[in-house]
Each structure stands twice: as C-alpha cells, then as structure tokens.
Structure 1
C-alpha cells in the first residue's frame, strides 16, 4: 500500500445509508490509470463488490463527483456508482439489510493497474440517525418495530408495510424516522411468533396497527400515512379504502387488485384473491423466470371481485410505477387506477413513472438487484430495470416520498394530550 496515495470520503466516512458521499483520491502520478473498488458483505454473508477504471488528472487526483469512469461496472460521471453497481458473488442474491442496529459497511479501495492496493477507506452507512429510538412492538396482534425521531415532536405518523416476503425489514422505516417521521413497520407473517405462512389476510391487523400508531404521544398528524411496495401495495390500497384515519398512501409497484390471498375484515371476506398462472412465466438462460405476464387480468369480469375500490378512500394517493418492472405490469395497474379514480370524479392522487427502473425501488445507494428468489413462485425471478436508471429513480423517489408525506401529513404545532 502506498504511503503517498490518499483516499478520502467527504464530508465524513460515517453517514446515513441514504446520504451521498464524495470519494476523492490524491497522490497519484499525473494521468495515472487506477481501478476503484467497493466491497461489502450483507447480513446473510453474501459478498457484494464493484469496480471502475479512472484516469487521474494532471495533479494526480481523482474526484468521483467530477471524473468519469472509463470502464468497469459503469461508465461516465457517477459519484455513487461504486455503491449502486455492486453485484453479489452468488447469482440471484438480493442485498439484505433489514436490521437497523448495525451500519452497512463498505470498503472502498484504489488499485494499480497490476492490482496492487494503493489506499483504502471504510464507509459506515447507518440506518438510524443520532437520537432515533427503536422499540420492538409486541402488543395485541401487532408484531413490528416503532422508530421515533429525536425531539419533542409532534411528528407525521407513517405505517410501513414494506414488501410481502415474510419477516420484517427495518431499513426504510429507520431511514424515514431519521428524516423526521414517526414510523411503525409491521410484519404479517414469518416474524417472532407469527405463523411462517398464511392463507388469508385480515384487515383488522392493520386497523390495530393504525390505532397503536395514532396513540403514540409524538404522533402529530391527524391521520397516518401508509407506504408499501410490491404485494403490500394492494394492502395499502385496501387500508385506505376500508379503514378510517388514513391521510396519505404511497403505492410502489403494486397491483390494483388484491393479490394471492383473500382479504377479510371483521371475519367477513371483502375481496377475493387475484391468482397467478405459472404456465405464463418466461424462462431465461440465467435460471430466473419472468413473471410479468403470469397475473390474471384484474379488469376481466371474472376477476373484478378482487379489485380494490379505491374510490372509497378519502386520503391522498401517490402511485409510483417502474416502466421496466418484470415482476408484473405496475404501469398498467397504475394507469387503470388513475382511470378508475377519474371516472369517479376523484382528484386525490398523483402519479410518477420511471423509465428503465425495475421492481424493487428502495431507499437510494444500495446495490441494484437484477434477480433474486421469489417467495411465492419458489424460484428466482428477474425484477427488471437498468442499473443506472434504476439508481437515479431511487434517488428521485426518496425525495418524492418525503415531500408527499410532509405535504399531506401536516402536524399541529402544539399537540395537547389529556393528563389524568
């Protein structure tokens, strides 16, 4: 390792997961060609890595916010390219960072063309900002984690449904709390003492979760926000359509109909399950399948009992669709919902779509996932998207999410709680 070459992370080597960093190299020879690398290990022990080739300027310096990668996992000026372009060393693995207590650690290094390391630096990317509290929730039927920002509040309250793969993910909830939201993330199955598998979903669980969230001392919004992704998108629609107290819903690459499991409320089925036809999947050479064309059409007469009656909702919707989603046709589902609301004279929605983005839109600067195991199909699936466009979509959407909730979950300046 060279004593002269310096690799720096600005403004600091410790930051939040969703914060950009500036990577700079100094002390190289004028116009020297080097390889920049990033390497990390996720919670499952899977190694993710990336590399890109750069040429130093006349002063022997490289600045990733200014200089273009000439080859490697990406080309062009991509300040965060080493992060989002990291790939797993095992095929069809999705980056797992669900526990908020430990940082995501990335080792950045700079190497000579022959491979020798010249310098390295460690980047610790935290999910929880300073002062954010994390409290596991096991009350009544609720199984989840409550994240509370530092300070007196009150704070906008958000229910995070994340995905429908079982278990509990804390990443998005912890980061939203770090940005000033009171967030409860809940698991529906596969966590704590919840069943490992389910055959039906009960809306009562989410009603209980909303009441719990609204009763928190620092919950300042009159109603709650709900944020979802994938299968939980239709659950978020149903929560907004059937339950009171929901002011704002973010639907990300979901379906317009209730998928896979019948939905019950007060022990009565309110929506049937839209089913999937495995005969319509497309196999690929990688061993992963494309499921986009396997869902039954929710607009056909025989499937309309699964459609969520979103015109019943009084809160605001933000519909988000990736145009290259290979899991299912999110863009078509979004367009159908927009048409449905317009037909009912509703204007309580906005929508955004991202060309070149795939199914899993998450908080920015994590490794892009082209394919991974799918809990429902039991085999790996292709999620779609082009890495650079997908990464840019995540940056834009993360800002959009926060703006939407701040706009539609306004808090009273002073929240008075009755005291006995």
Structure 2
C-alpha cells in the first residue's frame, strides 16, 4: 500500500473583513504531532515590510488552530490568532514604526512551512470602512486641508474632527472607521502639508474652527453634536480648542499633555509658540536641554543603546511654577472629556499629565461623564487613533543606528489599541448620540 502524500492547507475564517473584526487561522494537515511554522507579512503606508512567525505542533488530528494552541516558539506567546498580526516586526530595522494612516485596505499574506519548505499560502484583505456605505472626500481649499468620511445613508449625523501629533499624521484610517459607525468625520491636517506651516508653530485655533464651520455647513451634519479627538500634540490642540470654543459636546484626548508646550519643527522643540488665538501666541512651558541631556543622547547613539527622553522630561517637570503657569485650564472646558493614557509612555508622561487633569476636574460640571483610562504596560503609540486594532504594534523606531523608545510591549499595545477603540465608540455614543446631556451645575 502506497504511503499517503503529505498535505497542508491554510484556512482563514474571513478572507476579507473589517480591521476591527477578529478572524481565525488554521492549518489542516494529514500529519499528527508534527511541527509547522506559520508566517505573516504585510506592508505599511511607506511600503516597509513587517513580518512575524511562530511554530506549532499539529494535534492528533493533524490540525493547528491558532485560537486554541499556543506556539512552541515564535514572536508571541499565548492563544490568540491575532497575535500573529500584532506581533509583526520591521524586516529592515531593529525596531520600526508601523505607519498606517491612509484608509486603503491592508493586505496580509500568510505562509505555512514544513521546515523551510513552503507548503501553502493565503492572502487576506483588511478594510477600514465599507465603500458601499461611506463616502470619502478630499478637502483642499483656502481654509482647511484634510479628508472627510460620511455615511452614504441620508440623515443628520454627529460630526467629529480627528487631529494627530508631531509626526504630521492625518488619521484617515481612524476617521473612516468612525464614519462606518455613523459619524461624519474629518481627518484634519494642520501642518506639514503644502499650504500649511512646516511644523507646529503659530497654529491658529481659528484654523480648527474653520474646519468645524465647514462641517456645520454640510447638510448631513447635526451641528448640535460636535466632537473632537486629538492624539499627542493633537490632544493639546483639542483641549485648547475646546477651552476657547465651547461648542463641543465630546472631547477625547489621547496620550495627552496637561500643559502647553513650545512649537516643534522637524521633531525638534523650538523657542516659539505652538498655538495662537485671535492673533496672539499662547504662552508655553519652556523646557531646558542640558549638556547632560546631549551627552546622554550621543552616548546612546554611539553605543547603539535604546534611548528614552523621559528622564529629561521629568527633570523639566520639576519646575512646578512653569507646570502650573502653563497648565491647560481643563476645568473651564464645558464638555464631557475622556483621557486615554499608556502607563509606559516614553514620549511624554501621559499618565502623570492625565492624573493632574483628573485632579483639576474633580468638581467639573460633567465629572460623572468624564473618563480617565490608563493602559498597563502600554506606550505612546498604543491607543486609538495613535494605534489601530489588530495591526502590527509600535514600541520604538530605529534610524541612523539610534533606537528611540516609544514605550509599551507589543502585546500590551495591541490590547490597548483594541480596548481604546471600544472605549472611543462608547464615549462618542454616550456624548453625541445619547440623551441630552446637561451639566450638574444646570440641573
């Protein structure tokens, strides 16, 4: 009797699915208790390659089920089909930041190997919005620059603006995801694009208001229910806008600062204001860089040791007078607020800042609606929209032999990305789609 020919087939529960949907991966073979390796690869917006792999033993039926089996070796631990995705690392760098801001679908390739022999492949597509339900529109006029995503179904929808941080990101993918949930969303650029300032320097708060005026002019926008989401320096901008324009009904600050910082050009702080209002600069915290800071930076660069800027930041924050003088007066914001912070943020101490704001908001009119969410072991690029669910996670970035630490672990950041997406939807639903909200002072 002839020996059975070895067989192996990859099965994925959804070949095409939304980015926030879970899927399962199985490898079916006719070889029980045999080791196979499963690999995943994808590319980010910059065409950088990311990859992960893990080895498994087939069960007595010759099957590997990533949702029920832990790998015996590989890039992640635990029982989690999605672990093969969020654990992907840069192929070209020691650490690489996964950049995904466009709303174009992402393609993930799965490969199964018996030793080094490829036995099967499968490709899956992950989408950020259903094109049959959401309309995308690019905006570039004299007033604003960005991209809107709107539900196709006629009606009046709450509107949200999303702004990014000092990397100049325009969070189109995040905006598209929100639009699919019943919001008109504008992913707003405010620097780093043609016709806009080069860096975060003298950005008028009126620019954001022009964007809201644009949204309010749209026939499908419920101009009584407006919200704003900001990530990193964008969180600072969001809080400042809400402070000066009391029209918002929902404010979400992600990896936030509690103070106004100086401008930034090419990722470097400058001694100039980041923001202006009515033609006047907003005063800012003047951080000081010492010779020790410079020496520490070059030491890490020369010896190729991962570098964190937190020690320098913490030293500057000992200046309690500046900390108080340049604090954002969040207690005067007339809107419910949600703060999302990673406890291991190495770009700025978001947990420290959020706790300071939580104290200032103890008697806030909306204190029962305000939320303060902290993610254990999560870094700067962890929570939505700084990170999106079920994608490769960023803990640092290596350039010119220098690895900058952003914080967190891939597992913790992946958990925060998924949970923060859920928290965002619940908070927006409560504040923009729920019953009429009144402050405690007006009850």
Whether the TM-score (by the shorter chain) exceeds 0.5 is yes
Aligned length: 406
What is the match of residue 122 of structure 2? 121
Q: How does 1:297-376 map to 2 (within 5 A)?
A: 297=317, 300-342=320-362, 347=367, 348-361=369-382, 362-372=387-397
Aligned equivalents of 1:226, 1:182: Cα separation in 2 = 12
What is the match of residue 432 of structure 2? 409
Distance 1:275-1:223 versus aligned 2 partners, 3 A rule = farther
Aligned equivalents of 1:26, 1:170: Cα separation in 2 = 38
Aligned equivalents of 2:189, 2:50: Cα separation in 1 = 27
Q: How does 1:227-246 map to 2 (within 5 A)?
A: 227-246=229-248
Post-superposition offset of 1:97: 2.0
Of residues 12, 22, 27, the one that matches 1:20 is 22
- TM-score, scaled relative to structure 2: 0.85
Aligned equivalents of 2:360, 2:197: Cα separation in 1 = 35
Aligned equivalents of 1:193, 1:33: Cα separation in 2 = 56
Aligned equivalents of 2:98, 2:356: Cα separation in 1 = 32
Aligned equivalents of 1:28, 1:316: Cα separation in 2 = 57
Of residues 2, 7, 15, the one that matches 1:4 is 7
| Equivalent pair of 2:107/2:124 in contact (CA under 8 Å) | yes
Confirm whether residue 277 of structure 1 aligns to residue 289 of structure 2: yes
| Equivalent pair of 1:237/1:249 in contact (CA under 8 Å) | yes
> What secondary structure, in the 3-state scheme, does the structure 1 residue paired with 2:157 have?
coil
| Equivalent pair of 1:24/1:64 in contact (CA under 8 Å) | yes
Post-superposition offset of 1:339: 0.4
The worse-fitting range, judged by mean Cα deviation, of 216-225 and 183-192 is 216-225
What is the match of residue 219 of structure 2? 217
What is the match of residue 172 of structure 2? 170
What is the match of residue 258 of structure 1? 260
What is the match of residue 441 of structure 2? none
> What secondary structure, in the 3-state scheme, does the structure 2 residue paired with 1:324 have?
coil
Post-superposition offset of 1:299: 6.7
Of residues 391, 394, 413, the one that matches 1:390 is 413
Post-superposition offset of 1:58: 1.2
| Equivalent pair of 1:272/1:306 in contact (CA under 8 Å) | yes
| Equivalent pair of 1:260/1:276 in contact (CA under 8 Å) | no
Distance 1:380-1:247 versus aligned 2 partners, 3 A rule = farther
| Equivalent pair of 2:111/2:122 in contact (CA under 8 Å) | yes
Distance 1:142-1:29 versus aligned 2 partners, 3 A rule = same
Aligned equivalents of 2:120, 2:284: Cα separation in 1 = 58
Aligned equivalents of 2:42, 2:92: Cα separation in 1 = 13
Post-superposition offset of 1:291: 1.2
> What secondary structure, in the 3-state scheme, does the structure 2 residue paired with 1:235 have?
helix
- TM-score, scaled relative to structure 1: 0.90
Aligned equivalents of 1:212, 1:373: Cα separation in 2 = 39
Post-superposition offset of 1:298: 8.2
Aligned equivalents of 1:93, 1:269: Cα separation in 2 = 36
Aligned equivalents of 1:237, 1:280: Cα separation in 2 = 30
Post-superposition offset of 1:178: 2.1
Distance 1:345-1:401 versus aligned 2 partners, 3 A rule = closer
Of residues 302, 307, 311, the one that matches 1:289 is 307
RMSD of aligned Cα (Å): 2.4
The worse-fitting range, judged by mean Cα deviation, of 243-252 and 280-289 is 280-289
What whole-Å deviation, never above 9, does each CA across 1:358-394 have from its counterpart, x for those lacking one?
11021211111121279xxxx7521110111221111
What whole-Å deviation, never above 9, does each CA across 1:187-238 have from its counterpart, x for those lacking one?
1111233233343221111111112122222223613111111111111111
Aligned equivalents of 2:91, 2:259: Cα separation in 1 = 36
What is the match of residue 195 of structure 1? 197
Runs (5+) with no aligned partner, structure 2? 264-272, 437-443
| Equivalent pair of 2:8/2:28 in contact (CA under 8 Å) | yes
Distance 1:45-1:167 versus aligned 2 partners, 3 A rule = same
| Equivalent pair of 2:246/2:335 in contact (CA under 8 Å) | no
Aligned equivalents of 2:164, 2:58: Cα separation in 1 = 42
| Equivalent pair of 1:257/1:298 in contact (CA under 8 Å) | no
